[in-house]
A and B are shown apart, each in its own frame.
Chain A
């Protein structure tokens, strides 16, 4: 029990610090970095719904982000709709994409699902590069709304809300256990009254909606989107790395992984930008090492250690 209250204390401190940060620091660089860090936490936990809980490694997660970003960009700039209308539409478009992509791809397993989703996301990037409405390779510019505090709180609210919804659905409601049953043994799950097709689709859509919304916020915040920044490999790859390093199939793991890796990246690019190449090498090595030595990720390894200390040795 002591462990649990300590965790609650840390959590409360982090939440309070995040809420009051803009009052403590007027440095826009700090605010910008933290806004992006919060965004990555959101992307990582959303990715973990399908990858960690359901066991379907989605290498096209970035496509949902890009679709959300482009939906907001197009609706605001071409249809001149307000942001408040465009943002939910970003989430809806991502959900629709998950529904359409899910039908063929969720039948696949393991590496085949990863390859298929990766290929689909590349196809979407090519579409964005070749269509007029997206501005092609030149990207799109959105009208600037220069209010860092607004975007900080919007991002924090979106990610905080996502975290709470996912925590309830995955850790409290039966839904999370049902997804894990699919991950562990799909055929066995069927005999217990679970409909895997339906559950996988729900999981995929649940993963897509917050990702599309975060993409939409990102577009309006950064005011410039192009196919490589929002639809490139980077978003998917980074999410994979954060979740694998932090610990798949949990919510705290990906959140911690996202924060640590984003902090590392920021420090590296801010102070050691001459060695950019080295960043990718270190990141790659870190992933290889964590997969080999901590297959449950940072958080999973910590939980396991705590549980084995607590649990009495098993009788044979």
Chain B
């Protein structure tokens, strides 16, 4: 792999005097699942928002498939093949589940009939078929998190950013979502995932990037990272390290 699929290069994001992400660099190779880890307020979601175009980086750059995408708006990134979910789910509450997915499907399938066919496939894949005509407001949290993934998948992305899609689910639901993520990986999808549940993130990630107070403190395989004293300190305090 000469050219990395995603290259985050010295990215800093400030809000006024607060530096939420400070000089973070890492790379994601094609077909990898990279986990983004860190205690609350470490800057994971801010970094997600910078990569997905919701914030422009204050310094640094982001390169996707060899193209500088820093500061590009989210809708252009969606067209380039970047799909994302939101930690605080953003369903179109008043519309049906099918319509929610259909809106995303229009990006690749401008004709309604094609888009509908594609949307039904996505619903099938995410296990929402029997909920198709329910309004999104009527879904359970698990359903809404699946819908988030479904909408992102309907964009036919090559790179998927998943922001806490497992947190808040019961173990059975969580397993189903993990299964879906592994299936996507087998199909060749590249994924960057933020997740608080260690059992999940340790198992599915090829590599981990750990943030604390906006800075990268560790990077490596799950086994390496879990032995890293800086990581243990960040999670359990100085004494434990």
Q: A residues touching B (Cβ–Cβ < 8 Å)?
A: 172-174, 177-178, 180-181, 183-185, 187-195, 311, 314, 316
A192 to B53, CA, bound (A): 12
- B43-79 Cβ-contact flags toward A at 8 Å (1 or 0): 0000000001110000000000000000001110011
Q: Verify if B151 is at the interface (C-beta below 8 Å from A).
A: yes
Known: A184-B94, A187-B90. A192 touches B104 (CB 8 A): yes
Which chain A residues border B107 with CB–CB below 8 Å?
192-193
Query: By the criterion CB–CB under 8 Å, are B92 and A314 in contact?
Result: no
Stretch of B4-12, B95-103, B173-181 on the interface side: B95-103
Out of A177, A188, A193, which one reaches B99, CB within 8 Å?
A: A177
A192 to B102, CA, bound (A): 10
Out of A185, A311, A316, which one reaches B91, CB within 8 Å?
A: A185
Q: In B100-120, which residues have CB < 8 Å from any A CB?
A: 102-104, 106-107, 110, 112, 115
A172 to B138, CA, bound (A): 25
Query: By the criterion CB–CB under 8 Å, are A192 and B94 in contact?
Result: no
Known: A191-B78, A191-B84. A314 touches B134 (CB 8 A): yes
What total of A-B pairs shows CB separation below 8 Å?
Answer: 78
Query: By the criterion CB–CB under 8 Å, are A192 and B95 in contact?
Result: no
A189 to B84, CA, bound (A): 11
Q: Verify if B83 is at the interface (C-beta below 8 Å from A).
A: yes
A189 to B106, CA, bound (A): 12
Query: By the criterion CB–CB under 8 Å, are A190 and B91 in contact?
Result: no
A174 to B107, CA, bound (A): 10
Out of B52, B91, B112, which one reaches A172, CB within 8 Å?
A: B112
Chain B contact-residue range equals: 20 to 34
**Given A174-B110, A191-B75, A193-B104, 4 more pairs with CB closer than 8 A:** A191-B84, A192-B151, A192-B154, A195-B73
Q: In B141-167, which residues have CB < 8 Å from any A CB?
A: 151-152, 154-155
Q: Verify if B213 is at the interface (C-beta below 8 Å from A).
A: no
Q: Verify if B133 is at the interface (C-beta below 8 Å from A).
A: yes
Query: By the criterion CB–CB under 8 Å, are B93 and A193 in contact?
Result: no
Query: By the criterion CB–CB under 8 Å, are B94 and A188 in contact?
Result: no
Could you write out 6 A-B pairs with CB less than 8 Å apart?
A: A188-B86, A188-B90, A190-B74, A191-B74, A191-B152, A192-B154
Which chain A residues border B54 with CB–CB below 8 Å?
187, 190
Query: By the criterion CB–CB under 8 Å, are A181 and B92 in contact?
Result: yes
Query: By the criterion CB–CB under 8 Å, are B104 and A180 in contact?
Result: no
Out of A172, A173, A180, A311, which one reaches B133, CB within 8 Å?
A: A311
- The smallest beta-carbon distance between A106 and chain B, in angstroms, is 16
Out of A184, A185, A189, A191, which one reaches B52, CB within 8 Å?
A: A191
- The smallest beta-carbon distance between A260 and chain B, in angstroms, is 24
Nearest residue, chain B, Cβ from A311: B133
A183 to B90, CA, bound (A): 12
Q: In B177-214, which residues have CB < 8 Å from any A CB?
A: none
A187 to B75, CA, bound (A): 10
Out of B73, B102, B110, B134, which one reaches A190, CB within 8 Å?
A: B73
Query: By the criterion CB–CB under 8 Å, are B90 and A185 in contact?
Result: yes
Query: By the criterion CB–CB under 8 Å, are B78 and A193 in contact?
Result: yes
